[in-house]
Amino acid sequence: MRTTTAVRSSEIFMFDPDVEKMPRAALTQLQTTRLRESLERAYAHVPHYRKKFEAAKVKPADLKSLTDIARFPFTLKTDLRENYPFGMFAVPRKAILRLHASSGTTGKATVVGYTKGDLDRWADLMARSFACAGALPGDIIHNAYGYGLFTGGLGAHYGAERLGCTVVPVSGGMTERQVILLQDFKANVLCATPSYALNIAEVAAGMGVDLRRLSLRTGLFGAEPWSDAMRRDLEERLGVKAVDIYGLSEILGPGVACECHVKQSGLHGWEDHFLFEVIDPETMQPLPMGEAGELVITTLTKEALPMIRYRTRDITRLDSKQCDCGRTHVRIMRVTGRNDDMLIIRGVNVYPSQVEAVLVGFPGLAPHYQIVLTREGALDAMTVEIERAPDAPGADADHARKAAEVTHHIKSLIGVTCKTVIKSPGEVPRSQGKAVRVRDERKISN
Ligand code: DLL
């Protein structure tokens, strides 16, 4: 991919308008060529794909247009696990320069690998995402995504360097030190999960540091679902424009899609490198543009680990309307959650991020919450634990009144009946990376 530094109005972008503003017809043509190559790479070099394609009676040459992708089989996380650790790689192990892995809650880790070319394109796409979010060459980027097997830290790191920024590779944890570094190094961009950014803001306030008065301008937040209410809260506490970034290890890591700072409404999915589909998770049929369902991604340029129709489990919808920023790439609207995170409470489907949207900004409450699941007889029950704001009254009667208000709002806005427990400041566990939003006590309470 060619990247140019072009001066536009008062801003310098690492921005290639030839790619990011590519007309739809040209983008479709590019995707079709690259998709066929990706299918060929998978079929020729990964026995798992060859077997799956043969079982589905399709060959890469059957792909004449993008919609033909629907004839090809899906890939699931279990396929990666069954081929653990390196069985899905399409290149010899010696051509792999980097491994990452996600631990997962059950079973073996999923392992992903990158060739030199993959790492290069990843850095390009992360640099593109940073620029899209409003970062500029020369900025100081405080990178609080975890470094290690998680893709967040190193993914953001190399992208920031590629854009020509100064990176502070601080990783997650030791939050007081993070506040001191933000103050002393005068970072312009904060990279963190939204829940950890909130933790940093809270610790800063406790230290008497007003983050809004420092040099921060942009927050690049992702790796977990979050709500627009949380966006407003973080913008207020940190004095930044909070921008959503999306990605997953199996496809790349961070940098698959990113919001632009112009609109902050939906994440531009980089279609020169990925094909995005949304399917109905029940019927597994592709859904028309704009309908909500499960996001399915096919990599177009990955060498080490081509992913064909990877079922992300993430629930979203696509929007093909051109954005005000001029980018033509499709927008992935905010990911509300994963279909395996969906809770079914007395017949009502609910995602933790919907509950968050009700809780954050609620007068007298702090945005620290957890959802606790228990069993009452044959039925699942949901309790929301949320802290009161440090300056809100803490008597039992105040808590009871506030709890009733929250329960009422959740019922009227989401339709689910829950209990609410108001906790004292500091009682809900703080996040160091991806927040644990749900505590499942159903087995214990059974
Ligand atoms: O979380 C990659 C990443 C790092 C993205 C830093 C953004 C920033 P995984 O650990 O493999 O990779 O987890 C991927 O996290 O399938 C979603 O369920 C969730 N996720 C990632 N970004 C978002 C987001 C990294 N912006 C899984 N909104 C994905 C909602 C997100 N969920």
Residues 351 and 329 in one domain: no
Tokens found for residue 107: 């079973």
Residues 89 and 123 in one domain: yes
| Closest C-alpha residue for ligand 1 atom 21 | 223
Residue 401 lies in a domain: yes
Provide the β-strand partners of residue 114. 98
Residues 360 and 299 in one domain: no
Residue 249 lies in a domain: yes
Q: How far apart are CA 155 and CA 253, in angstroms?
A: 7
Residue 24 lies in a domain: yes
Q: Which atom of ligand 1 is nearest to the CA of 150?
A: 10
Residues 289 and 387 in one domain: no
Q: What is the pLDDT of residues 417-435, one digit of tens each?
A: 999 999 999 999 999 999 9
Task: Work out the average pLDDT over 399-417.
Answer: 96
Q: How far apart are CA 270 and CA 283, in angstroms?
A: 27
* pLDDT above 90 as % of the chain: 90
Residues 157 and 99 in one domain: yes
CATH number, domain at 423?
A: 3.30.300.30
Q: How far apart are CA 349 and CA 341, in angstroms?
A: 10
Q: What is the pLDDT of residues 201-255, one digit of tens each?
A: 999 999 999 999 999 999 999 999 999 999 999 999 999 999 999 999 999 999 9
The closest of 201, 102, 227 to 144, measured between CA atoms, is: 201
Provide the β-strand partners of residue 241. 218
The answer, yes or no, to whether any atom of ligand 1 lies below 6 A from the CB of 130, is no
Residue 3 lies in a domain: no
- Identify the DSSP state of 334: -
Q: Residue 382's domain spans which residues?
A: 342-445
Q: What is the distance in A from the centroid of ligand 1 to the CA of 9? A: 33
- Identify the DSSP state of 327: -
| Closest C-alpha residue for ligand 1 atom 14 | 248
Residue 323 lies in a domain: yes
CATH number, domain at 316?
A: 3.40.50.12780
| Residue that terminates a domain, selected from 339, 363, 391 | 339
Residues 188 and 298 in one domain: yes
| Probe target for ligand 1 pocket from 147, 270, 314, 336, with the most ligand atoms within 8 Å of CB | 314
Q: What is the distance in A from the centroid of ligand 1 to the CA of 111? A: 16
Residues 227 and 276 in one domain: yes
Q: What is the distance in A from the centroid of ligand 1 to the CA of 6? A: 30
Residues 379 and 421 in one domain: yes
Q: Tokens 């829950």 sit at which residue?
A: 418
Tally of structural domains, the chain: 2
Give the DSSP per-residue string, 377-440.
Answer: TTEEEEEEEEEEPTTS--SHHHHHHHHHHHHHHHHHHH----EEEEEPTT-SPPPSSS---EEE
Q: Is 332 helix (H, G, I), strand (E, B) or coil?
A: strand
pLDDT of residue 273: 98
Bridge pairing between strands 379-388 and 419-423: parallel
The answer, yes or no, to whether any atom of ligand 1 lies below 6 A from the CB of 223, is yes
| Residue that terminates a domain, selected from 317, 339, 361 | 339
Q: What is the distance in A from the centroid of ligand 1 to the CA of 145? A: 11
The answer, yes or no, to whether any atom of ligand 1 lies below 6 A from the CB of 254, is yes
The closest of 399, 75, 129, 370 to 253, measured between CA atoms, is: 129
The answer, yes or no, to whether any atom of ligand 1 lies below 6 A from the CB of 274, is no
Q: What is the pLDDT of residues 372-405, one digit of tens each?
A: 999 988 899 999 999 999 999 999 999 999 999 9
Are 181 and 162 in contact by the 8 Å Cβ rule? The answer is no
Residue-wise burial string across 93-121, b where 16 or more C-beta atoms lie within 10 A, e elsewhere: eebbebebbbeeeeeebbbbbbbeebbeb
Residues 79 and 190 in one domain: yes
pLDDT of residue 370: 97
Q: What is the distance in A from the centroid of ligand 1 to the CA of 302? A: 18
The closest of 189, 187, 197 to 131, measured between CA atoms, is: 189
Q: Does the pLDDT of residue 164 top 80, yes or no?
A: yes
Q: Does the pLDDT of residue 146 top 90, yes or no?
A: yes
Q: Does the pLDDT of residue 60 top 70, yes or no?
A: yes
Q: Does the pLDDT of residue 416 top 60, yes or no?
A: yes
Tokens found for residue 87: 């069985």
* pLDDT above 70 as % of the chain: 95
The answer, yes or no, to whether any atom of ligand 1 lies below 6 A from the CB of 102, is yes
Residues 393 and 288 in one domain: no
pLDDT of residue 4: 40
443 band by pLDDT with thresholds 50, 70 and 90: confident
Task: Work out the average pLDDT over 328-332.
Answer: 97
Task: Work out the average pLDDT over 169-174.
Answer: 97
Q: Which atom of ligand 1 is nearest to the CA of 334?
A: 28
Q: What is the distance in A from the centroid of ligand 1 to the CA of 192? A: 11
444 band by pLDDT with thresholds 50, 70 and 90: low
Q: Which atom of ligand 1 is nearest to the CA of 110?
A: 11
Q: What is the distance in A from the centroid of ligand 1 to the CA of 406? A: 29
Q: How far apart are CA 356 and CA 247, in angstroms?
A: 21
pLDDT of residue 108: 82
The answer, yes or no, to whether any atom of ligand 1 lies below 6 A from the CB of 249, is yes
106 band by pLDDT with thresholds 50, 70 and 90: low
pLDDT of residue 104: 64
Residue 235 lies in a domain: yes
Are 205 and 336 in contact by the 8 Å Cβ rule? The answer is no
User: Which residues are within 8 A (CB) of 374 and not within 5 positions of it... i.e. 6 or more apart?
Assistant: 380, 381, 383, 441, 442, 445
Q: Does the pLDDT of residue 12 top 50, yes or no?
A: no
Task: Work out the average pLDDT over 112-125.
Answer: 97
The Cβ of residue 203 has, within 10 Å, a number of other Cβ atoms equal to 16
| Residue that terminates a domain, selected from 315, 339, 363 | 339
| Closest C-alpha residue for ligand 1 atom 27 | 248
Task: Work out the average pLDDT over 252-267.
Answer: 97
Q: Which atom of ligand 1 is nearest to the CA of 247?
A: 5
Residues 316 and 431 in one domain: no
SS3 content of the chain, % helix, strand, coil (to 5): 35, 25, 40
Residue 16 lies in a domain: yes
The closest of 211, 226, 229 to 366, measured between CA atoms, is: 229
pLDDT of residue 17: 81
- Identify the DSSP state of 303: S
The closest of 307, 311, 270 to 114, measured between CA atoms, is: 307
14 band by pLDDT with thresholds 50, 70 and 90: low
In sequence order, which ranges of 285-395 are alpha helices (DSSP H)? 352-359
The answer, yes or no, to whether any atom of ligand 1 lies below 6 A from the CB of 255, is no
Residue 2 lies in a domain: no
Q: Which atom of ligand 1 is nearest to the CA of 253?
A: 2
Alpha carbons within 13 A on the beta-carbon side of 109: 13
Provide the β-strand partners of residue 337. 315
Residues 325 and 436 in one domain: no
